[in-house]
Structure 1
Amino acid sequence: MKHAERVMQIINDALDTYTGFSKQESELRQKFDREELTGKVFAEQVEDLARKRDAVRTEASIALEHAKAAYRQAVERATEVSGDMLHDDAKLLNMDGLELSARQFTALVEKHRANPLMVQLLQGYQKKHDGLYADYLPTPEQKIEDFNSFVEAGNATLRNPDGLQAAFFVSGKYTPTGATEAE
């Protein structure tokens, strides 16, 4: 989840900066209301804050794109397979007369979730046997797609920090479903 945590840090840092801009805008409005600023000066300073906010959003969006690329690379590295990843449990998937129950299959999934070779073998077994659909074994492409959706939700939060989606995102209710601790 280190990549998801990085995305959250980017978003939270940008939102903290937004909060500072909002406070400055509120102070400007108070000065304007007290007639300490002219309408022109007030408008110029509010416009300057809006430009600064846009710059922060652009900078954060660039950082989020870098996070997406880093995640893609991590998934690609994590899904490289080698023979030393083959666990003895793989024999269970091809034994004549042995049909794994849903509970047994789930136990194997949990045991080997971090092993890309075993995950691929388990995905193949799952496709061939009905009733084992309850275990979500995302493909590398699904993981990347889920993470990209997560990042897009972060971008949406930056575009509309007062929206409902932003509230869910910031509270941690929106996370990439396929990411593992190593990613």
Structure 2
Amino acid sequence: MKTVQDYIRTIPDFPKKGIQFRDVTTLFADPRGFRMAVDQLLHPFMGAPIDLVIGLEARGFILGGAVAHQLGKGFVPVRKKGKLPGKTIEQAYALEYGEAVVELHDDAIKAGQRVLIVDDLLATGGTAEAGIKLVERLGGVVAGCAFVVDLPDLGGRKRLEDMGHAVHVLCEYEGD
């Protein structure tokens, strides 16, 4: 029987030499693989008190939208700076070389709403932490974080768990 990991291809030396890129587009393209991933992402949260699903740019939009649909909940995107049309709040986070900024509409979450954060891959946890901070600044409560792939050697899961958040992943790859 196939697992989610069987649908993910690895592309060596992308985006630079020495990196093993975990490409989930092959997972998305296969109807069985995609359904399996969405079902497994939402399974621990079925019946949980969740009001919204947050998807982190960009592949988190695909997964988060599907998870929100299956849970019967609303979907909210966390976007790169300058991509949302309304009034936003922003959160900077560190990259390997420099910094990036993500944004959320300032009225996307109401105080006390419980939010599930979804993305395709958890590496250092910087993007997810930025998303968590945005949710919390608006008074939301993070109910959990769900990812298809975890790269445990990069420490993202530990980082989010050390912040007190439950982390659900479907598969892991050693190394980066």
TM-score bin (small chain): under 0.3
Please identify which structure carries the higher helix content: 1
Q: Which has the higher strand share?
A: 2
With the length of structure 1 as denominator, give the TM-score of the two structures.
0.23
TM-score (norm 2): 0.24
Bigger RCO of structures 1 and 2 (CA < 8 A, at least 6 apart): 1
